[in-house]
Amino acid sequence: MAERLMVVVGYEAAELLDIACVTTTLAMANGIGAPEVPYRVLLAGPGGGPLVCGSGLVLGGEQSLERLSGPLDTLIVSGGTGYERAASDKRLVGHVRRLARESRRVASVCTGAGVLAAAGLLDGRRATTHWRFARQLAERHPKVAVDPDPIYVRDGHVYTAAGVTSALDLTLAFVEEDHGPELARQVARDLVVYLQRPGNQAQMSLFTATPSAPDDGVRALVEHIAAHPDDDLSTAALAARAGVTPRHLTRLFTEQLGRAPGRYVRQARTEAAAHILASTTLPMAGVAARCGFGSAETLRQAFTERFGIAPSRYRAAMRPA
């Protein structure tokens, strides 16, 4: 029986989750769906010996990069705290470049994008990486169009994913591409994740990373905005609630949250809408009203601006089967 050879590249201090999210998802696809063309997954690294992950756990390497040859279905380079050393290792980078030429798809997870970039595989392409390292990647590799926002990016046959668990989203996209949406949905259910977050959904979310403000008054307003997105949240109303002038409130928000009150409220309302869209069947007009948008069209504009996808498409992608 033919197989899809999926090679995951690791190295010293690679991130275990970057590797496991890929390998576990593919193993589940084999076990759940028994696809006609199953996945064969190999973990490869320099020398083919054990790989000490960034967490200190040791994985047994299955193949050496030096002895591995194509054709491969997919080559996936992991990220991790050791990525800078890996990206500066000319032999490792050379083998990644060589194997990429023999692969149908090439991908990276998190800071693994730095290795692909060092190999010249991202030149002239749009790519993403973990938001914390996006600026560094752009500065070191000016030929790469780095976009720090999406969960993953596809540019031709080259895919780059953001941080850590975005590897789940990327690998589910591979399963859907290879075997159809039904198998991908089954795997997602067993992984207890959504199928699937749109690739261009923003990495940072108020639900997972609510900004911290040192000022008690600003923190209280942030909590109020999150709990009551349908209230009057104009700058004047928020300033009156905090007992300060609108000008002073704007200065506090800009200094402590990185944006003016109006922009913060718009983002908070859009994030609230994303949660409601994913978890309810409320009509679009109802979602808009509950989140403080004047109309479904206003919601659509704000949502598309924030996530790069229409709310209806977002709901369809996030809705479990």
pLDDT grade for 137, boundaries at 50, 70 and 90: very high
Give the span between the Cα atoms of 192 and 183, in whole angstroms.
14
The average pLDDT across 120-125 equals 97
Give the span between the Cα atoms of 174 and 232, in whole angstroms.
44
Q: Where are the beta strands (DSSP E) in the chain?
A: 4-9, 39-45, 51-52, 58-59, 63-64, 72-77, 103-109, 126-127, 145-146, 152-155, 158-161
In this predicted model, what pLDDT tens digit does every residue of 38-59 receive, in sequence order?
999 999 999 999 999 999 999 9
More confident residue, 187 or 215: 187
Q: Write the CB contacts of 177 (distance below 8 Å, at least 6 apart in sequence).
A: none
Give the span between the Cα atoms of 89 and 170, in whole angstroms.
26
pLDDT at 87: 97
More confident residue, 189 or 101: 101
In this predicted model, what pLDDT tens digit does every residue of 245-267 receive, in sequence order?
999 999 999 988 888 999 999 98
pLDDT grade for 22, boundaries at 50, 70 and 90: very high
pLDDT at 202: 53
* Strand-pair partners of 297: none
pLDDT at 208: 44
- Res. 2: pLDDT tops 90: no
Closest C-alpha to 42, from 10, 80, 15, 85: 10
More confident residue, 189 or 167: 167
Query: What is the pTM for the complete model shown?
Result: 0.68
pLDDT grade for 92, boundaries at 50, 70 and 90: very high
In this predicted model, what pLDDT tens digit does every residue of 262-309 receive, in sequence order?
999 998 999 889 888 877 788 999 999 999 999 999 999 999 888 778
Residue 149, token pair as written in the block: 């926002």
